[in-house]
Structures are given as structure tokens and as C-alpha cells.
Chains A and B, each alone.
Chain A
Amino acid sequence: MAEEPLFVQRFEICGRDLVSAGKASTTVKAILREIGIHPTVIRRAAIASYEAEMNVVLYARKGTMELRVTPQDIRITVADEGDGIPDVELAMQEGYSTASEEIREMGFGAGMGLPNIKKNSDTFCIDSVPGKGTTLEIVIRP
């Protein structure tokens, strides 16, 4: 039986590491370009993966991003170890942010991360356990 074409790659994301921040989502973008995914789809995947990666860097201890590409869809799963999100509905509100002063000084923490991810995905699931961490599942269909 022919196997469904599937590309999988995992990336490590280091919390608080602003030097490497964005590397995983940049690589995701490059891979999708090489495969020949349409630029507007790449743009959505780029924004969603970038915002998810930055959330791990800014608010968690560490995390992983997994990219799964099939002819049907692009799945990006970001799981982190950190304080988690006590009130997910509140966190999904545009403008709501728990960013510290330093984070805002750097130009982040406008409170648009999670809403932007949702806006750019076809399916978006967020699961969080306070004290343990958060997992995002993003699905984009070309």
C-alpha cells in the first residue's frame, strides 16, 4: 500500500533566548517554499508559527514545534513547558497581555499573538495546564 506523502520535522525552542528566536518559524517558511506551497498559504503559516514560537520564547521555559506537511494540510504543533494559561478565553482577547515591562520595551506583548494565530489558521486548538504548560495545534489547508 502506498504511504501518504508526509514531511515531519521538529524544532527545539529555548525560552528567553531572543538571539535564536524566530529560527524555527523561518525554517518552516523555507521548507514550505521549497515544497512549492502557495505564497499566501506560506504567509499564514509564517505568521502563525512565528507568533507561537515567540510565545514560547517570551513566556515559557522551553518548547518544541512540530511541522507536518501532507498534500491536504499543514499542521504546526507547538508544545511548551511553562506556567501555562489560567484563563484561555481571556488570553484570546485582542489586546490582553501578561507581558512584562521589558518585553513591551522590546516591541512585543501587544496582546495580538493568539488572536493572530487563530486568524491565520483553519483549525486552532489550545490546551493549557496551569503550572505545566501549553500546547497549540494549528492546521492550515492550502
Chain B
Amino acid sequence: MRHGKAEILEDRCIDCGECARVCPHNAIVAQTSSFTDFSRFKYIVALPSPVLYGQFRKDILPGTILAGLRRIGFDAACDMASATEAVSIAVDEYLSSYRGPLPLLSPFCPTVVRLIQARYPNLIDRLIPIDSPMEIAAREVRNKKTKELGLRRDEIGIMYLTPCPAKIVAIKYPPRKRMSHIDGAIGIADIYYPLLAAIADMNSDQREEQEPVRGIGLGWPVLGGQVSSLRAESCLAVGGLSDVERILEEIENGKLGDIQYVECHACPQGCCGGSLTVDNTYVTRSKILGLVARFGSAPCQDRESIRELYQETYFSLPGTIPSRPFAPLDKDIAKAIEKRKRIQETYETLPQIDCGACGAPSCLSFAEDVVLTRAKLEECPLLTPRQVGSETGV
């Protein structure tokens, strides 16, 4: 915070959306697509994250929600649970044939991927190179609809209904630099009320499930949902960035080698806690678990067919993920060492209580700001003028 305004250090932003969540003035908004952006398409498909299925009353089933989406202006609404199950089978296939160092990491939370690119580049190779459910679902629906309707591929617009801003960035700037199959995204919060009204307008006949939504991928929105859908035996599910960092540090130290797969989420409860959702995280979690209990035990895909597709590299992601380290203190190592030394010296003169009054998140951060001339030492309200004077040599 500088002079009452939040300053984002671009090279350090990992798109977690926490800033938008905590800003008391709602000054930070995620950039999403709008219906007008999509007016260039002849046919618009809604691709809702399965988190959406947990945002309504328990008796409102996924089929009804998809019908509601068609009522608010989408030409079609595509369920993602089947693509999710297919991806879980692909992950199982990858795990069973992999022979490298363990554990492997889930690539599905874009914020965790950005965290690894920035701070744990040695673990980039542990991210499984399997495409995400939203991309697989988008690819399939576009293929299906072009055939069904005789349209060109670019005449179909696929809009992802996202629980968080990180997914929007993953669509616009995919880490491996290949194009996304999705044309844009809108936050669940942004379509919620029109959708709720449309559902309320439907009578019980119209609410009849239009297509059964089921499968072992239904649980993915909650922490641990990926792991429950896998056959692999020793897996972990970790939520919240501090806990994810702790696990990544352990993996970097050579620990956890007997774990095959770690499901990691920036949001403590998994995607159902994303910052663009409407309902309380825990209520959503309980509804998703309810759906899993009712419709999530039997598979909806033919496992053998998916395994064949996997062998044909249908789910594989080519290319590598680049590292995106934070800018070093200086491009010249000698100068960087000098700066780090001065940061430590400055830090040792500060109160070291991380009160945040200067606008920096910690005293070490503030010391860095001072040395890099982003801030002045006087901005620490707890230093006496004499202390400031002796530091700055005035």
C-alpha cells in the first residue's frame, strides 16, 4: 500500500485473487468476459465449473442448473463431470506408467502452477502434463457442435463459468503457450442472480433432470476430490497456499518420496472456496459431497475407451512450462549481494513486529522496499527520528 493505493508487483502476482477478496473497498475486480464480448459468436455454450452445482439448494440438481443456463441466454450448457472423470482416468494412467522421481503434482490449480513457476522452478517437472477438465470438455463440445450444427469452429463461443480469477488467466495465458479451447470466462458470481431467477421460474416439470449428471469426477470441486477419484494409492490433498508451500518445501528437500500424487489448491477448501463463488464455502462443500453420495459412485465413462484415448495422447500436453522467477534484487550478482546485505542491515534496525503500518506486509519486505527505493525509511511510524537519522546519515 502506497499513499492509500494498493500497488501490485506484477512479477510476484500469482493470480490467487486474495487481494480482491480482502479489499475492504472492493477496489479490485477480476476482468471477465461479458455477453457483449461474445456477440461475435453464432452459438454460445456455457461450460460451468462443477462448483456451480453446489451453489444452489440441495433439491436443485445439476440438470436443472444446466437448463437454467439455457434460459438465461446460452444456446447450450455443457456438463463437465464426464470430462473430469476422463481426466482422472488419464491421471491414473500417467501415474501407473511413470518411473521418475516422486511425488507428482496436480497441474489443475493455476495459482499453484504460478507459485511453482515463481518460487519452486525445480518442481516444474513434477506437474503432470495432462490437460485440465475444462479444456478437454471445451474441445469435445466444440467438435460435437460443429458436426451437429454445421457451423465453423470459430462460430462457436465457449464461455467458462469460473469459481476464481486464476482460471481466467489460465484461459487467456495458458502456461505452456498453446491456445486455450475456451473463448472467455465469467465469474459464477456474475451470472448467479439471473440464473437463480431463471431456475425459480421453472416449474417442476421443467426442472426434471434433462440429462443425468453423474460420475466419479463430481467430487473434484472439494479438497480431496481429485484424490478420491483416483485409483492410485498413496496420495495427499493440500489446500491453502501456506500449507501448499510447506509441502513444496518438503518435496524440494527430498521428502515425501513415497507419495505418488499431491493434489494442491490455493484455496483452503479446494475450488468450492474460490473468490468468485457466491455461496458459503462449507455449504457448497456439503452440497457437492451430497451429489457425490447420490450420483458419484458409478462411473459415467467407459474406462477402456478413455485408456485408449490416453494412449493416443488425447490428454497430453506438449511443451514445457517456463519458470517465472521474481525479479532478482539486481541483474548483477555482485550488486544483488550488496543489496541483500543492506536489506539485512536495514531489517535489523526495524522493530521486526510486521505491524503493516508502513504498507508493506512485513518488516523484511519494507527493508527491501527501502533499499530498492520503493519506500523511505521515515515511513516506518515506529522508528524515532533519531533512529531514521542515524540510518540515513542525516
Contact = CB atoms under 8 A, between A and B. Distances in A.
Interface of A: 5-9, 22, 25-26, 29, 31, 33-37, 39-40, 42-43, 46-47, 50, 69-71, 107, 116, 142
B255 A70 contact: no
* Chain B facing A: main interface SS: helix
Interface string B139-183: 000000000000000000000000000000000000000000000
A5 B122 contact: no
Given A31-B340, A33-B326, A5 B253 contact: no
Nearest to A35: B336
Q: What are the 6 tightest A-B residue pairs by CB atom distance, in nearest-first order? A: A36-B328, A5-B337, A5-B334, A35-B336, A50-B253, A39-B121
Interface residues of B, number: 25
A46 B252 contact: yes
Contact of A36 (B249, B333, B368): B333
17 contacts: A5-B338, A7-B341, A29-B252, A34-B340, A35-B336, A35-B337, A36-B330, A36-B331, A39-B323, A39-B325, A40-B122, A43-B252, A47-B254, A69-B337, A70-B337, A71-B333, A71-B337
A33 B337 contact: no
Contacts of B254: 47, 50, 116
Contacts of A47: 253-254
A35 B328 contact: yes
A7 B338 CA distance: 7
B334 A71 contact: yes
Contact of B336 (A22, A29, A36, A42): A36
B71 interface: no
A46 B330 contact: no
A7 B344 CA distance: 9
Nearest to A53: B253
A46 B249 CA distance: 10
Nearest to A30: B119
Interface in B306-326: 323, 325-326
A108 B210 CA distance: 55
A51 B255 CA distance: 11
A107 B256 CA distance: 9
A26 B336 CA distance: 19
B362 to A, nearest CB: 12
B331 A5 contact: no
A34 B337 CA distance: 9
Interface of B: 119, 121-122, 249, 252-255, 323, 325-326, 328-331, 333-338, 340-341, 344, 368
Nearest to B337: A5
Contacts of B338: 5
Most buried by B among A7, A47, A142: A7
B119 A5 contact: no
Contact of A107 (B255, B330, B331, B335): B255
B341 A5 contact: yes
A71 B337 CA distance: 8
Contacts of A39: 121-122, 323, 325
Most buried by B among A5, A36, A42, A71: A36
B122 to A, nearest CB: 5
Given A5-B338, A46-B253, A50-B253, A35 B326 contact: no
A33 B253 CA distance: 15
Contacts of B121: 39
B249 A22 contact: yes
Given A29-B249, A36-B329, A42-B122, 10 more contacts: A7-B340, A7-B344, A33-B119, A34-B326, A35-B329, A39-B323, A43-B252, A47-B254, A70-B337, A71-B334
Contacts of B337: 5-7, 35, 69-71
A84 B391 CA distance: 43
A13 to B, nearest CB: 15
A6 B341 contact: yes
A29 B249 CA distance: 10
A107 B255 CA distance: 8
A34 B329 contact: yes
B217 to A, nearest CB: 33
Contacts of A33: 119, 325-326, 328
Contacts of B331: 36
A23 B121 CA distance: 20
B325 A35 contact: no
Nearest to B335: A5
Given A34-B329, A36-B328, A26 B249 contact: yes
Contacts of B252: 29, 43, 46
Contacts of A34: 326, 328-329, 336, 340, 368
A75 B195 CA distance: 61
B14 to A, nearest CB: 15
Contacts of B253: 22, 25, 46-47, 50
